[in-house]
Amino acid sequence: MNFVGIDTGGTFTDFVCLTPDGALRIHKVLSTPRAPEQAILQGIGELGLDGRALFIVHGSTVATNAVLEGKGVRTVFITNHGLRDLLAIGRQVRRALYDLQPPPEAPPVPRELCLETGGRLGAHGEVVTPLTAADLAGLRAAVDRLAPRAVAINLLFSFLDERFEREVAAAMPAGVFVSRSSAVLPEYKEYERGVATWLNASVGPLVEDYLNRLTRALPAARISVMQSSGDTIAAAQAGAQAVRLLLSGPAGGLAAVRRLGADSGHHRLLSFDMGGTSTDVALIDGTPRLSGEGRIGGYPVAVPMVDMHTIGAGGGSIAWLDEGGLLRVGPASAGADPGPACYGRGGRAPTVTDANLALGRLPADGLLGGRMRLDRAAAVQALARVAEPLGLGIAEAAAGIVRIADEHMAQALRVISVQRGIDPRGHTLASFGGAGGLHVCALAEALGITRALVPVHAGVLSALGMLVAPRGRQLSRSVARPLRECSAADIERGLGELVARGRAELQEEGVAESEIAVTRTLDLRYQGQSHGLNVAWEDLARCAAAFHELHRLRYGHRLELPLELVNLRAGLRAPAPDLPLTPPPAPPHPAAPRVHADLHGGANGTAVYARAELAHGQRVAGPALITETVATTYLAPGWSGLHDERGNLLLTRDAGPAAVPLTAGD
């Protein structure tokens, strides 16, 4: 059987195919955003694959793009009396703190599509207002009149008792996509739960239609979809959980870097994925961390997602001078069209990519992506727009741009490490994305890190990650009770219900019960706090002690206050596929530099190596450039790189003074 990982991006759809003999084949086609399955079928055809012997896992941008572009389907929002404007009011937080007259924003759901009903529960699950037959008849008549394509149902405290939401769902017309908050996110915080339920309803029909078209076109193939949590879910079940697919592409990249790092003996990683517009950073300690506080398009998305911090710093980030005449970089980007000035497609603004080219870190005679020749003269002309007002030469201005971009990314890495009580010096910095290799050494030095990893196939890492991700589920339910009022038996019972549900769903996908690994955790907080911390479930005393210590590490102190149990969580995963990732072929003897380049800063005559020509076990001393079709790695002075037997580049800082990472308060 051929295993195919597919990452559907805005411009390209990437394919990584693992053939039965263990060989990896890589392919790219232009994406077809209006019908993403067309690009997938085109790529499968060009790879010459038989649809009857395919296992496909892919990351879909259908849900993400629909949310970002505001192109979800017409959706009715049903809630209890008095809460019609819940989604419009939100948390009443201004985007600009000191802007007292912010421009009005359109509510997520127009007010005329927001319906109110009875069936209200109290905080302890008691019935405050019953759900009557007249309520149900009125809702059905209103939905028939409004003719939506989807309905989102979000009743108060439905996570304690879902019967009223089930009754409302059963009263809806046939053919309407129905999303219940008690199924999507059975947790407290009615606004966040309501947003997740609305997003699921708004994009669910689009995802469902797309997956149905794909499965009809490949009826004999086994198809799964990557979830934002880094687990995969069968295509037949994914449509009903569309809100859990919003970060499926980046989650694939983390799955791949975790696997490749572990294969090379690196289990504690700080990863950064630097593309053209943004940089995503994450922390991996055995497995990627999960968060319930993600945001997409300005909306909170409280379903489990890989814990990732994104900033507007990429190869296309534009350099500019502020009103005080200071050099700034980003967050605005030149994008892909026209792109950086050196692309030769009409771009005039200076970017980080133009700066790297002017510094000699990108070979001027190279072909970007194997097909685009870079225009150094255009890059220099663009850089002059900031260099001349600053009274600097082109090289000095370019170096300043790169240093500022490096500091933006270093600060993002501090956010997910130092600010959480984690010393980054105990981790390996893993770099991927088209631009990451140019900055990896500088970022490692900024954080005092002495080891870095530039994995094989870094340019298609998200597609590769689809192949090595486990099947799994992340389930939760709110409790919101003082911990002293909870018994171990009650907690065991609640966790057991979540585990049973997850096991049933995975067994539907063909996973044997004996293969399912289960983690059970609790969200705890001090009474009076708004946010909790997640600890592993052992017993009441150990969980309390673990919370106090985690709070001390995260926030620098602990309190002598009673604890509250907020949520029960169960994670279920089948083992990740143990696929033999055969390294790309390498010559038997160490490669000599292909050419030499002149780099700014005194590194003249710098050796340039083709990564594909490096022998396994070959070590390269910096300064050096290591080029490949989709990326370039700059090996800074004081660093050396080892091309390991799996095709990864393992970078090591030579003995010498290392930077000490800034603390959260510096």
In a domain, 283, yes or no: no
* Number of structural domains found in the chain: 3
| Mean of per-residue pLDDT scores for the chain | 87
E strand or H helix at 245: none
Encoded tokens for 353: 């990519």
Residue of 389 and 103 predicted with greater confidence: 389
Q: Is the pTM of this model over 0.85?
A: no
Using the 3D structure, point to which of 508, 539, 573 is the last residue of a domain.
Answer: 573
The phi and psi torsions of 324 (rounded to 5 degrees) equal -90, 5
Render pLDDT for 545-577 as a digit per residue (tens, 0 to 9): 999 999 998 888 999 999 999 999 999 998 877
Using an 8 Å Cβ cutoff, are 470 and 232 in contact?
Answer: yes
- Are residue 159 and residue 174 in the same domain, yes or no? yes
Note the pLDDT of residue 489.
95
Report the pLDDT averaged over residues 306-320.
84
Note the pLDDT of residue 49.
86
- Are residue 221 and residue 194 in the same domain, yes or no? no
Note the pLDDT of residue 65.
76
Note the pLDDT of residue 456.
85
- Are residue 82 and residue 189 in the same domain, yes or no? yes
Q: Measured between alpha carbons, how far is residue 64 from residues 11, 36, 223, 249 in Å?
A: 14, 13, 19, 10
- Are residue 133 and residue 190 in the same domain, yes or no? yes
- End-to-end Cα separation, the chain, in angstroms: 54
Nearest CA-CA partner of 564 in 498, 478, 484, 477: 484
- Are residue 227 and residue 168 in the same domain, yes or no? no
- Are residue 106 and residue 76 in the same domain, yes or no? yes
In a domain, 374, yes or no: no
Residue 547's domain is classified under what CATH number?
Answer: 3.30.1490
- Are residue 135 and residue 192 in the same domain, yes or no? yes
Render pLDDT for 16-69 as a digit per residue (tens, 0 to 9): 888 887 778 888 887 787 888 898 999 999 888 876 778 899 888 778 778 877
Of 348-357, 544-553, 599-608, the least confident: 599-608
Domain that holds residue 145: 71-203
Encoded tokens for 452: 């870095």
Give the CA dihedral 490, 495, 500, 501, nearest 10 degrees.
Answer: 120
pLDDT band at 352 (very low <50, low <70, confident <90, very high): very high
Render pLDDT for 219-268 as a digit per residue (tens, 0 to 9): 888 899 999 888 899 898 888 989 999 888 788 888 888 888 888 888 89
- CB-based burial label for 519 (10 Å; 0-12, 13-18, 19+): middle
Note the pLDDT of residue 592.
78
Length of the chain measured in residues = 666
